[in-house]
Amino acid sequence: MDTSAQYDRIIEHCQQLFEKKTTDYGTAWRIMRLPSITDQLYIKAQRIRTLEEKRVSKVGDGVQEEYIGIVNYCVIAIMQLTMADNRNESLPLNEVMEKYNQVVAETKELMFAKNHDYGEAWREMRLTSLTDLILTKIYRVKQIENNEGLTVVSEGVKANYQDMLNYAVFALIKLGLSNR
């Protein structure tokens, strides 16, 4: 299976879960500020790292579920960046899913541009390295947030969220989710 098809299968899985949770909870995530979303990403990535190191889970959800959470929280973060600041506004499911698809399409396009330049180097990387890259991106976003969004020469938070989303998709491909 090629990267595009694998990517689409992973996203389809993540999107189905996101849609079900949105049906259950609505758009409660709209209340979250970006630093809170970044902290959620941190919790998920740190849990993955802990599971990679200790190899024991006492909660139930495993590494795969946490990477899916990273994909969906990155989509939420990017949606929050592009939406009006009316955080109490509930959004209809069809509008949310349309925005989800827009975010993913743009992020997938970025992935293909980078894959062209890097020659799909991620396929030779260890899963633990993808986790570390996600954690690094989280720390970068936290620093940018602490700097009130200002950067001197670095990309902004959106590009970092997109990279984290793509790294999580790569991890899920490596874990075999796209084969199911």
Q: What are the structure tokens assigned to 84, written together?
A: 């009006």
Domain boundaries, the chain: 3-179
What is the C-alpha to C-alpha distance for residues 139 and 26, in angstroms, rounded to an integer?
29
Residue 133 vs residue 54, higher pLDDT = 133
Most confident option among 12-16, 55-59, 61-65: 12-16
Percent of the chain with pLDDT over 90: 71
pLDDT value for 54: 86
SS3 per-residue string spanning 98-165 = HHHHHHHHHHHHHHHHHHHHHCCHHHHCCHHHHHHHHHHHHHHHHHHHHCCCCCCCCCCHHHHHHHHH
pLDDT for residue 91 is more than 90: no
Instruction: Pinpoint the alpha helices (H) of 55-92.
Output: 63-82
Nearest CA to 171 out of 132, 141, 145, 144 is that of 132
What is the C-alpha to C-alpha distance for residues 19 and 129, in angstroms, rounded to an integer?
30
Q: What is the pTM of this model?
A: 0.93
pLDDT for residue 115 is more than 70: yes
Rg for the chain (alpha carbons), in Å?
A: 16
Q: What are the structure tokens assigned to 156, written together?
A: 């902004």
Residue 64 vs residue 176, higher pLDDT = 64
- The tens digit of pLDDT for each residue in 125-174 reads 999 999 999 999 999 999 999 998 777 778 889 999 999 999 999 999 99
pLDDT for residue 113 is more than 70: yes
pLDDT value for 161: 97
Helices (H) and strands (E) in the chain, counts: 6, 0
Residue 119 vs residue 170, higher pLDDT = 170
What is the C-alpha to C-alpha distance for residues 95 and 31, in angstroms, rounded to an integer?
17
What is the C-alpha to C-alpha distance for residues 37 and 86, in angstroms, rounded to an integer?
16
Nearest CA to 10 out of 82, 59, 62, 70 is that of 70
pLDDT value for 94: 94
Q: Cβ(79)–Cβ(100) under 8 Å?
A: yes
Query: Whole-number mean pLDDT of the chain?
Result: 91
